Structure 1
Amino acid sequence: MRNWIVAASVAAVFVMGMGVGYGAKREPAPANYHGQDAREAAQVLLDIALEQAGKDGSWERIGVGRVYYLGGFKAEGQAIFDALLAGKHADSDVFRIARVYQEAGEWEKARPMFDQHLLANPKDEKDLAEVGAYYLLQGDRATAEQLFDRSYAIEREELWATLDIAGAYLGVAPQH
């Protein structure tokens, strides 16, 4: 009988310890990346970053999705974007995700999202200039210059808009 009580006590402590382990938030640690394969280290750290981003931080979640998407874990990044866009989200979330697709060289995926953002935000001179720069970099100078004209009609003194426009004429993508 005594052995049974000891065994039950050990099992209970083990189960409680597992519950604490599973409920505990993971943190980055040298063991996550020292001596690990680069992709495995990145995967562990990205999983931790997603936990750190929380459920309500859309900018943070897009940042994690960006690294997944551009780093070769495209499906994981796409799942983060899809989940964000399926719920209540800001127009700026659409814009940030479109930037990821642009950065990935997926203009046909980025363009309609940029256009959607500009329809919802027709007076944002910086975004007009940035999207115009992407159009110019894709070879659509007419659309680009229409967007540049709209940007300058709103504000001619916006440094970042001017830099995005100048850069595009030199083949330099906007910095964001």
Structure 2
Amino acid sequence: MGIVTVYSLTAGTFTTLIISEEKEKKNLRTLILSGVRYSDYIASTVFFPILFSVIEVIALPIIFDISLPNIGVYYVVTILSIISFILVNLTIALMCKTQTQASAISLIFYLLIMMLPMFSYDNKVIKTITDLSLLGAHNKYFQTMDTFKLSDTSILVTLVWIMLLLGAVIWAFKWNKKH
């Protein structure tokens, strides 16, 4: 739960607040109309949230003296999860009209993603939903830390989510250009 909170606060909330503020002040429209490319805008917007998230993900095991059996797998899983969170929050921010709307929806997303793993132990349907969610690899990694491999299908599911969310971000950016 601590790592998911890091994803939500550093990757999610920062991203949502940055973009929704630019959008509410009409800066996003000005940037789009001035010819800023999608890739440049996305890269500049997510640089600091990614940086802060990566620092936290590296620091948490050290600070709390947590022994991780395969630190490389941990880094891959957490980086993919960070990217997923950023893309979800980019989409939310680009689709909402105000900071308040974006923050509220981002909070609902955070609460949902936090609760799914808790209920997945008791319910097979929720477990399937959790396994197929964008944090499926994260959840599976922390459940089976000693045996988890990068070849696990949950990594593929996370990569599919990243591709779908990247498409959603590009679509939302184009939608903002028209509206």
Is TM more than 0.5 here? no
Higher helix share: 2
State the TM-score bracket (shorter-chain normalisation). Answer: under 0.3
Give 1 or 2 for the bigger CA radius of gyration. Answer: 1
TM-score (ref. length: structure 1): 0.21
